[in-house]
Amino acid sequence: MKLNNRVHAFKICASNTTVTSNLTLVEPYESAFLAYFLRAAFGAISAHHKTIKMHASVIEKRGKALVFLGKSGTGKSTHSRLWLEFVPGCRLLNDDEPIVRVMEDGSARVYGAPWSGSTACYRNAWAEVSAFVRLYQSSENILTELKGVHAFAALLESVALLRSDKRNRQLVIEILNDILNNTKVYKLDNRPDRQAVALTQTLITP
């Protein structure tokens, strides 16, 4: 990794149990490198434990969560903010890189993470995923369930994936398939308004 003409490197051993780096952990500037390395190492190793890191914003209410997916600028954080404004009793669990794990019973849990982008939301908490929602900006609000390859693609484009590692790619694909066996994925064409929130609010199980 290169930052301001400084370069540092790290390696993960083949058994995925040891990470090494040439960081000294003495210079203050190294904190930016360390944060990046930890994120990358987690993304590479966690797949071996039925766990993935996603680019998403997460709203939780009474132990149930909605995971909002989408490219940067499509309104994930805005939709979560509207939830906080219009839905009593909900809270923001993470606003950038939540962690999703498949449990032994096949259910998916989403966890807060040390990474939440520009939003200071670092919750050591989890909730059961009620649904994943891929957001698109639109002139009207339409909620549609995605099936098959469309649902898979919506998840895949939002997951942290070590593309140079064939085993990591395969593990991530298996995790996504496990998620799809028990959890639904939706597409939300939306305006940033209360009506859009009313649509996604129906996806949280009472």
Q: What domains, with CATH codes, occur in the chain? A: 2-48 (no CATH), 51-201 (3.40.50)
CB 195 within 8 A of CB 141: yes
Cα separation, 152 vs 128, whole angstroms? 19
Distance of alpha carbon 34 from alpha carbon 36, whole angstroms: 5
Q: What is the pLDDT of residues 86-107, one digit of tens each?
A: 999 999 999 999 999 999 999 9
Res. 162 pLDDT band, cuts 50 70 90: confident
Q: Is 118 exposed, middle or buried (0-12, 13-18, 19+ CB in 10 A)?
A: exposed
For the stretch 114-141, pLDDT in tens is: 888 888 888 999 999 999 999 999 999 9
Tokens 């998403």 belong to 56
Helix (DSSP H) and strand (DSSP E) numbers for the chain: 5, 13
Separation CA 177–CA 56 (nearest Å): 18
Cβ-based neighbour number of residue 106 at 10 Å = 11
pTM, 2 dp: 0.89
